[in-house]
Amino acid sequence: MGDTVVEPAPLKPTSEPTPGPSGNNGGSLLSVITEGVGELSVIDPEVAQKACQEVLEKVKLLHGGVAISSRGTPLELVNGDGVDSEIRCLDDPPSQIREEEDEMGATVASGTAKGARRRRQNNSAKQSWLLRLFESKLFDISMAISYLYNSKEPGVQAYIGNRLFCFRNEDVDFYLPQLLNMYIHMDEDVGDAIKPYIVHRCRQSINFSLQCALLLGAYSSDMHISTQRHSRGTKLRKLILSDELKPAHRKRELPSLSPAPDTGLSPSKRTHQRSKSDATASISLSSNLKRTASNPKVENEDEELSSSTESIDISFSSPVRLAPEREFIKSLMAIGKRLATLPTKEQKTQRLISELSLLNHKLPARVWLPTAGFDHHVVRVPHTQAVVLNSKDKAPYLIYVEVLECENFDTTNVPARIPENRIRSTRSVENLPECGITHEQRAGSFSTVPNYDNDDEAWSVDDIGELQVELPEVHTNSCDNISQFSVDSITSQESKEPVFIAAGDIRRRLSEQLAHTPTAFKRDPEDPSAVALKEPWQEKVRRIREGSPYGHLPNWRLLSVIVKCGDDLRQELLAFQVLKQLQSIWEQERVPLWIKPYKILVISADSGMIEPVVNAVSIHQVKKQSQLSLLDYFLQEHGSYTTEAFLSAQRNFVQSCAGYCLVCYLLQVKDRHNGNILLDAEGHIIHIDFGFILSSSPRNLGFETSAFKLTTEFVDLSPLLPGDGRPGWRHVQLLQDADAAGADCCPETHG
């Protein structure tokens, strides 16, 4: 029984599939660890090997090599068992948690510097195996989450809670849903262990605060457990939203702020934070632990700091820093709700555009898109670009959002508003004498737009007047450009000698130009999103940038987001995590499979945002618009069988198709109609909508006839085996991949 303490520990960090009997497993384990060296170069392979052998021997010695394969309960410590005392003597109880341990008998958890130091002195022989695992470089966030979930020991939980501070923020962020779920749904001890970390992070990052608040709300919403627990998640959510966790300020950072005291900004802790996380990666184990152990103290320091600078705090930070963002999200959701009441796509689209144009009046603001990977402020929603997506009764919609990237969300000023059409001066003023208005007045009227005069791209009034001078900037092949140019330039001297042109040339140019434009989709009032999604992303960015008053700014970026209202995205979030995990496993194993996990932002139990897959349209749209089979469509888009473009598109297709077949098989993804499968410009397919996975299904049927979707059309598109006409090798590959991925991915996902 007790041996479970040790058993799974060395297995975890290895990405080795089968947790077989430990005795037989030694060899493969070791080899795997050696393999992992590339990633964790700190560990000397030989040392690791030795350590593992020791572990295995110990296990054998104690329990006669009883194989335990259950991973589910690794920390089942039984009081009074021999193991207990064994461990007790191996490791001196850490002073800080002595009281706990007296009651519980848990000795493993120890996070104190003292304990660590002592352990070092005593060396490995006397160490707790679990602690050794925790201290080892292989202990990663996924293990931490799993132990946090499975451990019943408050000491272990507290240790892991402290240990969270050492992980890189991004790593922990990935498991935020699990963390918060545990915080809400598990007992007091787990909650207490997690809370300091969350509070700490909330203080650092506004984005984290928002995510926490949203997830806490979403996961608490449909709880059927006691109200006491219910209130724990809600309480934390309230705490976050009440803005008591606004960033604490450091005194030394204040001077830099003084130039802009009136903007209601909060000085950043970014530098501090970054150095800390960087340190975590490289710092040696013992000091790491020291740090973790003293973390509550760090917290205290922070609090002291914040209280000492409280007066400044008040003057610097806006009243409720999450309020603008929440309003922004709320208004996006409200738009979605209102759209759902309209009967036709056309009305929805028109309404969406007009609603967004109103929203534009409130921008720029201190709001951001949580799905983006960088700090930014939203400055404009190009409302005419927004489209309503296909859905029967709900109204998900896709919006593009112009943002300005910034160093730090909190400290950077919200960009000034630039009016919709940036104009240097107005028509009549140019014709008017200067009197009647003073210089100050004039300057005043433009004061809202800094750098106006530097903006070379601003439209001048005479744009159209100088028609023949300007060459059209829109895509033209060079030949046309030349001909157009010659036509134009000759025009001006035409009076001297007549110029003749061939009617055939005009007609030819017309048909050539139309042939050269990429196969754009036709506008369809019933499917307004098809055209918008088909347009290549780069081209769309360029086009929107040209039309945007903010487009000239160097830090201008375009983001897009799908706003879903009335859909529960929590499961999508889980699917995203699984896909991400699979992706990293495949990458690690160098399996050439391709999937595209897309980011999910859960806003509440029935709303959220999705990061759209760019350059992708659904297969349904492809077939409807092109009226071709997939193979023919590929030929049309990428060129004939032998071209490089076609072959790489075909390869992409196969790799992604295989990847998603696996995903569908593993997750039992249902509802795989063509509208839920996208095809991107490079040939990849991307499955979307993981609303029905595992046991849930659209029509109360727990199963679907096929394990995954692989239609003959898909098969037709795959390359054939040379000689043989059957594309058989793919199935083999699929099975191999399933083998590699299948067993490994499951335990990685919790909650």
Hey, which residues between 402 and 441 contact another protein (CB under 8 A)? 414, 419-421, 423, 425-429, 431-433, 435-437
Give the shortest CB-214-to-another protein separation in angstroms: 17
28 or 331: CB nearest another protein: 331
388 or 616: CB nearest another protein: 388
What is the size of the binding site for another protein (CB under 8 A)? 90
Site for another protein in 33-62 (CB under 8 A): none
Tokens of 631: 């193979």
> CA 751, CA 626: separation in Å to the nearest integer?
42
Contact partners, residue 379, CB within 8 Å, separation at least 6: 363, 364, 402, 403, 404, 415, 550
- Near another protein by CB under 8 A: residue from 38, 103, 259, 502: 502
497 or 644: CB nearest another protein: 497
Give the shortest CB-411-to-another protein separation in angstroms: 14
6 or 387: CB nearest another protein: 387
Give the shortest CB-726-to-another protein separation in angstroms: 43
Under the criterion CB under 8 A, does residue 499 sit at the interface with another protein? Answer: yes
Decide: 610 and 562 in contact? Cβ < 8 Å.
yes
Q: Which stretch binds another protein (CB under 8 A): 211-219, 283-291, 492-500, 648-656?
A: 492-500
- Near another protein by CB under 8 A: residue from 41, 275, 354, 648: 354
- Near another protein by CB under 8 A: residue from 60, 118, 362, 542: 362
Tokens of 685: 């397919």
Give the shortest CB-463-to-another protein separation in angstroms: 5
Give the shortest CB-421-to-another protein separation in angstroms: 4
Range 277-280, long-range pairs (CB < 8 A, 24+ positions): 277/168, 277/169, 280/165, 280/166, 280/167, 280/168
Site for another protein in 293-352 (CB under 8 A): 318, 323-324, 327-328, 330-331, 334, 338, 341-343, 346-347, 349-351
259 or 433: CB nearest another protein: 433
Give the shortest CB-436-to-another protein separation in angstroms: 5
Give the shortest CB-52-to-another protein separation in angstroms: 56
290 or 366: CB nearest another protein: 366
> CA 118, CA 93: separation in Å to the nearest integer?
10
CA-to-CA separations, 568 to 178, 207, 579, 599, 699, in angstroms, rounded: 17, 21, 18, 14, 17
Site for another protein in 240-269 (CB under 8 A): none
For residues 508 to 547, the per-residue mask of contacts with another protein, x marking binding by CB under 8 A and - elsewhere, is -xxx-xx--------x-x-----xx--------------x
DSSP assignment of 193-236: HHHHHHHHHHHH-HHHHHHHHHHHHHHHHT--S-HHHHHHHHHH
Site for another protein in 455-484 (CB under 8 A): 459, 461, 463-465, 467-468, 470, 472, 474, 476, 484
CA diameter of the chain: 111
224 or 427: CB nearest another protein: 427
279 or 490: CB nearest another protein: 490
Decide: 22 and 61 in contact? Cβ < 8 Å.
no
Contact partners, residue 697, CB within 8 Å, separation at least 6: 670, 671, 703, 704
Decide: 313 and 249 in contact? Cβ < 8 Å.
yes
Which run of H or E residues covers position 695? Answer: none
Question: Which stretches of 341-465 are DSSP H helices?
Answer: 345-360, 427-431, 439-446
